[in-house]
Structure 1
């Protein structure tokens, strides 16, 4: 063997790259060469067309040339597969359009430079991916395709569709030899083979055929930067139209529906909004609130028991705001009465659910109750469960926002009634499993990939949507508070005033958190019925220095016929009255729970749940949620062991050493 061949063989053994590998890699270079070379050529073309007198002729000529080239591509590819023909024509048309614009304007302009930097790699990668998939699992590329590389020989890409920003392939699995789960488990290897981020490959099963699946590949992360806020999607429209809060990674708008629609068989929906601190869920809420408040037939009530005005301040006088844990809890206890009142009226009008007719003919707007940091008001699980079960038919959507929807934070009965999930970044994938469906997780949805590093990135899963969108991540618009305030002020005349029944039942005044009266459509302060009295909790908040130092003045004597009593005289001794026993202290409750656990051990029971503490509100003066949290505390201290769930209740086991000691 010659020295040259020995050298070549030695180089191959060291690098692992053969001549066949180099030849195969060379087939992937042309799209990149064309895409990268387009920019310097456009600089030269712009310089040559810089003469103002020649610019009109250059513009017309290049436009005609680009159109002709695109048409020739369509005709020349007629013998190819339809998808190849469309892909070729789309690529040629896009390149011609950009090149013409860059020649006429200036390639260094941010819009033109940015679009080239984004589109050129995406288009080049789409051709590479099609080439790789075309040689996977068939006779044309045996041994060199994508699926052979990831040990999935036998999988075939039957149809490949190319759209802006993504490539979709319909996969045929060898029937009886492989499952969709096998392919889903190799998405990381596929992304590695294509030199793409791990999250860029997703596999979704075909609901009608277990031997088929859809693979979606996103070559370029279009969610890296949020898109600018475009303004309200339907100012003056109905709440039955969707709220547009962001865009999916393929450019489609992200929509949220609240009321039901009989024509499309979509039910009214409650939502749970989940996301770690800093994941952007509060910003998403602001966009949704702004969308709601630009509609003509809806009321919005926002409750925040924890953060004060930090999140809701920008709403100002535009909608009722309830702050403080006590006030929020009080308002939620009043919702059941409102539900009964609205449901009765809808039934009287011949409506089995809220429709636009309820507003246009009877003046009843839809109602959205949005609760931020909802665990602070979820302690009354019984009331919240009733609201979640009955509110939708009365034209009310309940939105509960929290960081982690674990069983300790939210009652499972409540969670089962919340049909929609808006999940932002979470710290661990296990956190998302509390809300997102198992099918969505198996299809590749992973909000833990973002945590709080990509604020606004989210998944949306709700009834009535195209299920294809469930697995596609989205990101909310970028909008500053002044932009949203400007929209709210510009559309103030469009929104419905707070309905008197809502104000009456929930104990809301027509004022903001700052005490300024909100205005109706006519611009005058809203007036309530004479029977309404705003609810104020005197214990929720603090007295000012002036109030604290001002002595209270008793009322005037409005009944002079009554005998005057000396207020300074000593009261006579009264007979002892029989009062109910006071609420036990926390230490007393914990001792009772310890005695109860010992009793169960003596009876031979080594596993316990909250159900073993019967009627805790009566005997312990605590809610079942508090008892659940106390058992979790004991587990964290090692006195109990969490062993899973049984009928939606966490089961705890008493360690052997504790049992022996007892």
Structure 2
């Protein structure tokens, strides 16, 4: 109540309290009963109207017809006029008008004191008048500042004046309030901007308020308010959601704030970006996804974690089909994924699959999915779904370039491959815009500042999603945006499962590795053969490398650069050539002309070397070694020492990638495209 209203009420009370006792009591009674007199006055007016109508039209049949039509018309008009009010008030008003006009019509034709009309008037009129008095008492006895007036005041404070609130739906820890903005004055964008002020007015965190816009209107929608954070206590991993079933069944990885399951429909998501700052629970979410994947029967899991060497995933590595835990293996995996896409896509095409489906992983006994031209069942072994997960991918992107995953993301959908890129900050400096646009799904954990815009669509942020409010203070809190997930849930906070403290997590991982070893078959032949051809030893020795088996020692660098290079070349010389000087100029072959006196210039020699490297890498396993160039040294006009130094320079410039084996390099996609 405003100060002006308080002053008026105080003056009125003073007037009531002045004068004699009798007059004071009469004034008080009149003051208290006056607001409830209108229904009784209307009731008296109905009797007067019925009496007057009887004197005018008693016994007139046409008057009866006219009064009946007028009664029906007034009742319909009352129902129509009440469409903007609540359903109870609308119904109450229509019943009152129908009863009053019906009695007047009967009284006009028969007389107000005929038959049961007097009793109906006294009982019905009094009951209707009292019903309106009761309604008024219930309305005026509500606490001050509540109801529509309080709502109106709150909306005015937050800049949404004249906004209409519809029927409020109250559920346990959840309030849904439909709204309608004034036409031509406000839009749903204004509602999104007002969320922080609404949260302040209600004294709740901004993440407790979401807005669900009506897709068919720019000024309608509903507020969803969750006053209590039900995610404060982490939920322990409850076990696999669909053990032994297909990866086509969504993966359960956590819970929403209303207690419902947080599920990731992987085949709908296609490719996914996982983003969150250090300590936000990003790795815990990755473990939840891995727990689900490694309990399914038709999915192959490839993990690259060069940044931390698979530190968090080691207990699960034995169940994975390929774990690349160093830079060389991770680079090889990225190149392999890109290379096998057309091979897998061709297999699906030849077996009449427009996209991967669970039947593609089984033995092909259906003639409708046969690669034979005669239409009979081919009996080919199936093709597993492939998930290539690149953990802490920022390091790999720095080494291989920001366009590393662009081709994979744009082409892998038709090949039954899901690409997952996990990193702390997917800015344009680390992940190209084209690659980010090709990752339609996102799991966004706590971030700093405006970083959420790198992972979440603008409309989700406008609806109230705010992972920056958590930072790394709410471990495991996440927003999931993906095809196959209800869009109304995009702005709803969720929390991934907790896999338990150290010791319990290892036990759960060991149980998954042993329990589902028989469920998960070996990597399908199509993918394995292609990977072996592309990655070579990096793939065939993947188990040993993941287990930490010793790798070939790199040559020691001592003395001058020429001496170090000579030692590297010597390490690559075959046993049968050990007696020859590997650094000497190549003599002219017997029976052939000697080398020309004028050797190619350094620029020409480098161009020839580039051409040879591209040629060898394209026809081989994707790698090239110094010793592979021995047959071409005469054409280049240089010796092995020079070739070794030039290839090392190309690696430093980012055109080749070291593989971890002395003198062996991998051709990067950028150079291959050239």
TM-score, normalised via structure 1 length? 0.58
- Cα RMSD (Å): 3.9
In structure 1, the partner of 2:27 is none
In structure 2, relative to structure 1, the CA distance for the partners of 1:336 and 1:80 (3 Å cut) is same
In structure 2, the partner of 1:196 is 204
CA distance in 2, matches of 1:537, 1:438: 47
In structure 2, the partner of 1:407 is 428
CA distance in 1, matches of 2:583, 2:327: 41
Instruction: Assess if the C-alpha contact under 8 Å between 2:177 and 2:223 holds in 1.
Output: yes
Output one character per residue of 1:556-577: Cα deviation in whole Å (capped at 9) or x when no partner.
659xxxxx96669976777645
In structure 2, the partner of 1:433 is 453
The alpha-carbon deviation at position 146 of structure 1 amounts to 3.2
SS at the partner of 2:219? strand
Query: What pairs up with 1:577-656 in 2 under 5 angstroms?
Result: 577-580=600-603, 621=653
In structure 2, the partner of 1:259 is 267
SS at the partner of 1:187? helix
In structure 2, relative to structure 1, the CA distance for the partners of 1:369 and 1:541 (3 Å cut) is farther
In structure 2, relative to structure 1, the CA distance for the partners of 1:418 and 1:313 (3 Å cut) is same
CA distance in 1, matches of 2:261, 2:580: 74
Task: Decide which of 528, 534, 556 is 1:503's aligned counterpart.
Answer: 528
Query: What pairs up with 1:251-290 in 2 under 5 angstroms?
Result: 251-260=259-268, 269-290=270-291
CA distance in 1, matches of 2:446, 2:262: 17
CA distance in 1, matches of 2:498, 2:256: 14
The alpha-carbon deviation at position 250 of structure 1 amounts to 0.9
Query: What pairs up with 1:71-86 in 2 under 5 angstroms?
Result: none
CA distance in 1, matches of 2:485, 2:386: 21
CA distance in 1, matches of 2:252, 2:319: 20
Instruction: Assess if the C-alpha contact under 8 Å between 1:318 and 1:488 holds in 2.
Output: yes
CA distance in 1, matches of 2:143, 2:361: 56
CA distance in 2, matches of 1:431, 1:554: 52
Output one character per residue of 1:253-299: Cα deviation in whole Å (capped at 9) or x when no partner.
11112224xxxxxxx51001110011111111111011001000000
In structure 2, relative to structure 1, the CA distance for the partners of 1:451 and 1:577 (3 Å cut) is same
In structure 2, the partner of 1:327 is 329
The alpha-carbon deviation at position 510 of structure 1 amounts to 7.0
CA distance in 1, matches of 2:585, 2:233: 74
In structure 1, the partner of 2:23 is none
Instruction: Assess if the C-alpha contact under 8 Å between 1:321 and 1:513 holds in 2.
Output: no
Instruction: Assess if the C-alpha contact under 8 Å between 1:365 and 1:496 holds in 2.
Output: no
Query: What pairs up with 1:565-576 in 2 under 5 angstroms?
Result: 576=599
In structure 2, the partner of 1:605 is none
Q: Which runs of 5+ in 2 are unaligned?
A: 1-5, 11-86, 90-141, 365-380, 558-566, 588-594, 608-648, 656-674
- Greater C-alpha radius of gyration: 2
Q: Which runs of 5+ in 1 are unaligned?
A: 10-78, 82-130, 261-267, 518-533, 559-563, 585-616, 624-662
The alpha-carbon deviation at position 472 of structure 1 amounts to 0.2
2:386 paired with 1:367: yes
Instruction: Assess if the C-alpha contact under 8 Å between 1:203 and 1:213 holds in 2.
Output: yes
In structure 1, the partner of 2:669 is none
CA distance in 1, matches of 2:583, 2:468: 70
In structure 2, relative to structure 1, the CA distance for the partners of 1:572 and 1:239 (3 Å cut) is closer
Instruction: Assess if the C-alpha contact under 8 Å between 1:459 and 1:470 holds in 2.
Output: yes
CA distance in 2, matches of 1:373, 1:417: 18
Query: What pairs up with 1:327-476 in 2 under 5 angstroms?
Result: 327-360=329-362, 361=364, 362-378=381-397, 379-428=400-449, 430-476=450-496
In structure 2, the partner of 1:220 is 228
Task: Decide which of 484, 497, 503 is 2:509's aligned counterpart.
Answer: 484
Output one character per residue of 1:337-375: Cα deviation in whole Å (capped at 9) or x when no partner.
211111111111011111111112342110000001112
Instruction: Assess if the C-alpha contact under 8 Å between 1:248 and 1:254 holds in 2.
Output: yes
Output one character per residue of 1:447-472: Cα deviation in whole Å (capped at 9) or x when no partner.
00110111110111112321001010
In structure 1, the partner of 2:310 is 309
In structure 2, relative to structure 1, the CA distance for the partners of 1:510 and 1:485 (3 Å cut) is farther
In structure 2, relative to structure 1, the CA distance for the partners of 1:474 and 1:80 (3 Å cut) is farther
In structure 2, relative to structure 1, the CA distance for the partners of 1:554 and 1:270 (3 Å cut) is closer
The alpha-carbon deviation at position 474 of structure 1 amounts to 0.5
Instruction: Assess if the C-alpha contact under 8 Å between 1:370 and 1:399 holds in 2.
Output: yes
Query: What pairs up with 1:1-40 in 2 under 5 angstroms?
Result: none
Please identify which structure carries the higher helix content: 2
In structure 2, relative to structure 1, the CA distance for the partners of 1:350 and 1:541 (3 Å cut) is farther
Deviates more, 1:240-249 or 1:164-173: 164-173
In structure 2, relative to structure 1, the CA distance for the partners of 1:582 and 1:383 (3 Å cut) is farther
The alpha-carbon deviation at position 186 of structure 1 amounts to 2.6
CA distance in 1, matches of 2:144, 2:345: 56
The alpha-carbon deviation at position 513 of structure 1 amounts to 5.8
In structure 2, relative to structure 1, the CA distance for the partners of 1:514 and 1:155 (3 Å cut) is same
Output one character per residue of 1:6-38: Cα deviation in whole Å (capped at 9) or x when no partner.
9xx9xxxxxxxxxxxxxxxxxxxxxxxxxxxxx
Instruction: Assess if the C-alpha contact under 8 Å between 2:460 and 2:490 holds in 1.
Output: yes
SS at the partner of 1:175? coil
Query: What pairs up with 1:210-249 in 2 under 5 angstroms?
Result: 210-249=218-257
The alpha-carbon deviation at position 398 of structure 1 amounts to 0.3
In structure 2, relative to structure 1, the CA distance for the partners of 1:582 and 1:217 (3 Å cut) is farther
Instruction: Assess if the C-alpha contact under 8 Å between 2:273 and 2:421 holds in 1.
Output: yes
CA distance in 2, matches of 1:479, 1:149: 45
In structure 2, the partner of 1:643 is none
In structure 2, relative to structure 1, the CA distance for the partners of 1:175 and 1:515 (3 Å cut) is closer
In structure 2, relative to structure 1, the CA distance for the partners of 1:244 and 1:583 (3 Å cut) is farther
Instruction: Assess if the C-alpha contact under 8 Å between 1:232 and 1:487 holds in 2.
Output: no
CA distance in 2, matches of 1:210, 1:451: 32
In structure 2, the partner of 1:512 is 543
